[in-house]
Amino acid sequence: MDLPFWSPESRAVSQIKGVGGPSMSPLHAVAAYGRRALPNHWDVVALASILAVFAAVARAYHGISAPLGDAHLAAVSLDYWQLPYYALRTTLRMFAALFFSLIFTFTYATLAAKSRRWEMVLIPVLDILQSVPILGFLSFTVTFFMGLFPGNVLGAECAAVFAIFTSQAWNMAFSFYQSLRTVPKDLDEVARGYRFTGWQKFWALEAPYAVPSLIWNTMMSMSGGWFFVVASEAITVGDTTVTLPGVGSFIAKANDAGDWPAVGMAVLTMAVVILLYDQLLFRPVIAWAVKFRVELSSAQEVEESWVLRLLQRTRWVRGAAQPVFHFLRAVSLLRIGMPPVQKVKAFVSTPAARRGFDVVWYAGIAAVALYGLYSVIAFIATELGWADVGQVFVLTFYTLTRVVVLMALASLIWVPLSVFIGLRPRLAEAIQPLAQFLAAFPVNLLFGAAVSLVLTFNLNPDIWLSFLIVFGTQWYIVFNTIGGAAAFPNDLREAAANLRVRGWAWWRDVMLPGIAPYYLTGAITASGGSWNASIVAEYVRWKDKTVAAHGVGAYIAQATEKGDFPRIVLGIAVMAIVVTLFNRLFWRRLYAYAERRFSL
């Protein structure tokens, strides 16, 4: 009987035959096999941890699948002993959103990176999606999901997961798209030389190359999701309010009640949760992803993880996981072809056919865009005129100026610090949980301090409220720049050191070109997030006091408060137009330049 090559029995038989290691007597081989067949103490720890995770998920799922009318789901208690259960429910929502964000990333970003025609549609749509205030559409999504699961809290849970998904997916998709566009040309030529199919090339080259950057952006997306958690765990549909148990709803209730000890306990719980999933998930994944760096020499300092070391020392857990990894590897190397696509390529292989296909494609895109523009104008024209449109464009210019200035300040401060951290794995390992916590800190907890400072010292809201925008969005630059510096090839660092390139020349000729694609990915997502954050940062309410700055964010927030849908649509439409033009005329041109000049 043939034994699987990963099994302990196979290794023991190989050693008896003198294959795969030093030969030994049959008695010693049987003894060695017996030791390997038994679990060690690391297996006990790993299996206990896995069972604890399964038990926690089962406990949370019991609350998720409960009927909507249950009394314990109608309100959130400020009892501190409920915080572990609330943290479990919130964490489950965030990881569910992360799962769908990964699916979205691997499909949407890949299609945009692989197809020139689809790229013209998908990337501008992604620019708009990351900039439009998705929370404004939460009521529509709640109605849809609760209609799918009538009478069950699962509908409200799906709506909350969707809101968190919108805070995670765009950043991850941009990161993966950037990585696919900047795969080193020599590695691409090697893949073509081996005659890899598109499927094999994606899993053997492109996806591994994108892994380091994707991991850092996934961490940023998890942290960014905490802001949406606060807003999505208390959902109102008509006259019905559904408050989902979670850390976000606990913070919202404690904040409204002015119970600062409860707010402190909730923030402490959030910090513990971030530390746990950092140590149990992200730190092992970062240490594992070192193998995907593009470099010829290894760094002197490498990332480490106690969880990864624990798993590597187990016997049963590794034995159970090896068949899965071998199966996935075998699937990734299948020579899967796409005959229909090849036929289409053959059909449009002539220049005339390609031009005709482009004309039809662009005409379809223009028709859809014109129809959408006509629908918006028809809806707005019922109550508003050209004077209102001009006013919104002026307010949008104010917000644009605010976003540009804040992005420049954040870049000047955080790029040098992030490079310093990213080049030192030990320092990055220590700072990583802190950075995730700061990125996840709910900015609405600062509203009271912001309003009090502005009113007490008679400060200009146009200036001082602006820092609420950058407080949550600067971390996109931080995480992407750290990821870029961490992925910078060690052999290029050694070459620069041997050539004694130092000072400004080192930044200009070595490091800034090396991290340029990563920084631009973070800057684009931070810019889009800043537009989204302007909705809550330019119009701040604290109890009975309100402070507003001039900008399209405050315009949309005030219209939303009054239920003025024509002005809401006008503000969002103008914002989407300006953001798309700004990204196409500035960010995308800069990004294309970085692809041409700074790719490895």
> Using CA atoms, how far apart are residues 485 and 515, in angstroms rounded to an integer?
6
Whole-number Cα distances in Å, 461 to 67, 404, 445, 598: 45, 17, 18, 40
235: which strand partners? 242
Backbone angles phi, psi at 243, to 5 degrees: -105, 110
Q: Coil, strand, or helix at residue 154?
A: helix
Higher pLDDT, 303 or 424: 424
- Residue 101's pLDDT band (cuts 50, 70, 90): very high
| Residue 133 confidence (pLDDT) | 64
Helix/strand/coil (H/E/C) assignment for every residue in 350-374: CHHHHHHHHHHHHHHHHHHHHHHHH
pLDDT above 70 covers what percent of the chain?
82
Inter-residue contact 480 to 220 (CB < 8 Å): yes
Please state, rounded to an integer, the average pLDDT across all residues of the chain.
79
Q: Which residues of 179-190 are buried (b: 16+ CB within 10 A; e: fewer)?
A: bbbbbeeebeee
> Using CA atoms, how far apart are residues 497 and 260, in angstroms rounded to an integer?
52
Per-residue pLDDT tens for 409-466? 999 999 999 999 988 888 888 888 888 888 887 776 777 677 778 888 888 888 888 8
Backbone angles phi, psi at 214, to 5 degrees: -65, -35
* pTM (whole model) above 0.85: no
| Residue 340 confidence (pLDDT) | 47
- Residue 187's pLDDT band (cuts 50, 70, 90): confident
Tokens (6 digits) for 236: 């109102």
Tokens (6 digits) for 440: 């996840």
Higher pLDDT, 75 or 105: 105
DSSP tag of 246: S
45-337+381-598 homologous superfamily? MetI-like (1.10.3720.10)
Q: What is the mean pLDDT of residues 137-153?
A: 72
Q: Coil, strand, or helix at residue 152?
A: strand
- Residue 36's pLDDT band (cuts 50, 70, 90): low
Per-residue pLDDT tens for 340-353? 444 445 555 567 77
Tell me the domain boundaries of the chain: 8-38, 45-337+381-598
Q: Coil, strand, or helix at residue 149?
A: coil
Q: How many helices (H) and strands (E) does the chain have?
A: 29, 4
Give the position of tokens 């009538």: 150
- Residue 39's pLDDT band (cuts 50, 70, 90): confident
Per-residue pLDDT tens for 377-401? 888 887 888 888 899 999 999 999 9
| Residue 65 confidence (pLDDT) | 64
Q: What is the CA radius of gyration of the chain?
A: 27
